[in-house]
A and B are shown apart, each in its own frame.
Chain A
């Protein structure tokens, strides 16, 4: 009745061995790769994934530094910044000018969204995990995959360059609303910095588009034998649906980006209304509509916020199930609710525009659809709780990060429902309440999910473990500091403090918020510096971490049957899948996990069925 140890079963199918090698050799270049081909312009999905991961971790620090600039100004307005002030803003006496403040928060959001969250989920984990988890030797289009990584760099370059052109970086907010973004004279940052911003985002768009076509093709067409759709891990489902979202929403933003770029450079007037005079420039002619941009932008960017969440949801589902040593509660409802979130995600974008002068009839529609999207979100939350309920929970670093994901997502999701109601949103729109909301979902949920995923799949990337203690210290500090930083933002929002304002205390009704803001700033500083623990742990563990075998967590997924780290072509033998990925604690087994590749001979299955 017992089966042999899972690690051995990976080798049990000699009949497939030849295919494994065939797949391997079909690349035809398995042997002598130069350093450049191997580590820089590599077409291996694992290398590309790790390239994405390291790049995004570095960008996380850049974005964090920009955020600390924002926080400094909110706590100690127009005072000399310690250390960096004299270096960066020497000609303003070490202070942040209001114009520079707007650039700071714009570029903070831009870096975090376009260079951290989206690429770390789809680029880093998507690339690394998809072929491994579905049992493929690589992505469907490896060259395209490589290009999708390298298209990120022009964007990084242009965003960086934009700080040094005349007028400075874009200051229109990451939402880039016209006329601020369409008319060069509107603000200092509306000059070349804005153009560079648009070019950079276009590059990111092309990069994501290449990635998503690749992921969809790979997941549809390159699954290992036996890996039916409903045997795919949640991570893969989430990546798949994210790729769909991206493929169908992103082109709209790309097109809108071209339109606004044309408005800025060749004199079109899609988004510039006629008869407008901005800062003494000649009156505009034409007759475009600024609101059109908001529609096109949010048509992409609301699905995009789910692009920034769904993969983390998938990865957390896998981790929760593994460390609860229990099957995922309600696998199919989980899949359907992700699909529902994605589907509904396409018809809720107007909730960002309640106060923009949108047609009230649309406001009603968007309010209802937004409230509906909370349903599948709630289904998922209950399923995660159900997964943990009664489980044999192991509080490893990935697990505690995943639990943080669930709880922080609840907070962020609930504030989302507040804002979805038009009457409430009229009051809290563009206040710090919004900032609290999206930081809870983006940092609290997604980023903690990513922290967990980094610790969880690190052994697969390098064959070594990350340090548990350091991981837990990092988690505790980040978690507490995160809540200290962002929870008070709900109060700020309720008190009516607008976001994107360089000097809120100019208004007497906000003066009393200064001490609270100072507290939040110090929490943010602690949180920022805590990330060095993660970086140190990550980079040191590559070299000094404890060596481990294929399956350190005793997990079920296909990736754990491959060597750690997997060689070129991933699997030493072509995996064959017999069951779903969540069969933990199966009765009548010696061990509490049951890998997807494990074959059970007929007699044993009969025995199991009879309960022997």
Chain B
């Protein structure tokens, strides 16, 4: 095979400075990492509970952070960054920018459908219009709220032997809040 650049073919194909795109993508990746670190500093909500013992319980969103929800902000920022990166890859690496209109006729409906799925699932699966029964969450909150749980506490002596989990329904109420995050920050 000839190793000479072929005049005819050399002309074809768009000229993109791929290294610049590469730089931009790297920069954006670093930015999302930085955003994450910032999130951790500001109330540690990007990782809501550095303490393994008490994951955030969504019954009380942002309870530990005093109102402002950093978690959502950081989440929004990193997703926006991801979308920007995806746009770069699509436009330049995948040459969408240099294709004809047909590519949009194909991409746009796909993207709309792709967004529609989570959107349509949200009212049903993500938000519960009914009362969710989450035995494990309730039990968890219940157990964590009694750190000095007595070794002989009868409520915990259910027939665990055959793998059954005791199923008490202790709603997470203000009296029984999930234990807030404590110490152990990285």
Contact = CB atoms under 8 A, between A and B. Distances in A.
B113 A248 contact: yes
Contacts of A347: 116, 120
Contacts of A287: 134, 136-137
B165 A285 contact: yes
A360 B127 CA distance: 12
B101 interface: no
Interface of B is mostly: helix
B152 interface: no
A362 B123 contact: yes
B84 interface: no
B120 A295 contact: yes
B135 A274 contact: yes
A357 interface: yes
Interface stretch (A2-10, A275-283, A397-405): A275-283
A282 B123 contact: no
Interface in B122-143: 123-125, 127, 129-130, 133-137
A289 B125 contact: yes
A287 B164 CA distance: 16
Contacts of A248: 109-110, 113
A361 interface: yes
B129 A277 contact: no
A299 to B, nearest CB: 7
B123 A359 contact: yes
Q: How large is the interface on B (under 10, 10 to 19, 20 to 34, 35 or more residues)?
A: 20 to 34
Which of B110, B124, B129, B165 gathers most chain A CB within 10 Å? B124
A275 B124 contact: no
Nearest to A280: B162
A1 interface: no
Contacts of B120: 295, 299, 347, 350, 362
Contact of A295 (B109, B121, B127, B167): B121
Contact of A358 (B117, B124, B133, B136): B124
A346 B114 CA distance: 11
Interface of B: 102, 109-110, 113, 116-117, 120-121, 123-125, 127, 129-130, 133-137, 162-165, 167
Interface of A: 220, 248, 252, 274-275, 277, 282-283, 285, 287, 289, 291-292, 295, 299, 346-347, 350, 357-362
23 contacts: A275-B133, A275-B165, A282-B162, A282-B163, A283-B163, A285-B136, A285-B165, A287-B134, A287-B136, A289-B125, A295-B120, A295-B124, A299-B117, A299-B120, A347-B116, A350-B120, A357-B130, A358-B124, A359-B124, A359-B129, A360-B129, A361-B123, A362-B120
